Amino acid sequence: MDKYLNKSLVYTSFIFLILVGIFTRSFLGISIFGFRLGELIVGGAFILSVYFLFISKPKKYFEIENSNFHLTHKLIIIYVVLRILLNYENINLYNFKSSSFIWTVAIIYIGIFISELSNNDLFLKLSMIFFPIIVYVFQTGNYPNIFISFFQQYSDKFQFMKASDMVIVVIISSIYISEYKRFQSAPGTRLSSRAFWLDRRYPITNLWRESNHRTSKSA
């Protein structure tokens, strides 16, 4: 894939994430083609879930290393789809809205795809550092009136960010920054075959050895 297209996809994804984090429900309520943005996201996640269930290619984007997450996710999707089909006489949009938390899990695979394209350049690092700062400024009495007017006109509702949403923003930013710093650490080995997906490590300065690990496991 062309590197400029890669950057465009990565930047667009991060900017969208930041907009959702800052404006939350107000942003997702913007109407596009007669549907709210949040509904379009859930619809796209549903299509991605079906694609994951029946195709799942390329596998590197749909299977997390040393994890059975993809199998568990497929079982959950099959269960939900069967429940919907068994009540086919009463199928309507509400069935999909009420199960939106199931379909949006598939967005994880989009995250894996974007992470493969991302090279964590300066723009991304700075955006994630300033992300919680901007949210704090906006949600502590400094919300610009121009945005309030915009959402009142083009969104189905305007509301300030909830405290739980602010916590999520801080967590996302902290995880991104800590992961970036962790990849700068000394090379190391996996703790076990069931180690975390992104390879948590013991630095070589800890004098970790495979033989010592086997001895401790057998004991």
The pLDDT value recorded for residue 51 is 93
Measuring CA to CA, how many Å separate 3 from each of 9, 17, 56, 63, 119?
Answer: 10, 21, 24, 24, 11
The pLDDT value recorded for residue 16 is 93
Distance CA 12, CA 4 (A): 12
Tell me if 142 sits within 8 A of 18, measured CB to CB. no
- pLDDT beneath 50: ranges in the chain: 196-206, 208, 210, 212-219
Give counts: helices (H), strands (E), the chain: 10, 4
The pLDDT value recorded for residue 208 is 47
Give the SS3 label for residue 3: helix
The pLDDT value recorded for residue 193 is 56
The pLDDT value recorded for residue 123 is 84
Tell me if 175 sits within 8 A of 129, measured CB to CB. no
With vertex at residue 18, the alpha carbon angle to CA 13 and CA 22, rounded to the nearest 5 degrees, is 150
The pLDDT value recorded for residue 74 is 92
Q: What pTM was computed for the model?
A: 0.74
The domain locations on the chain are 3-186, 187-219
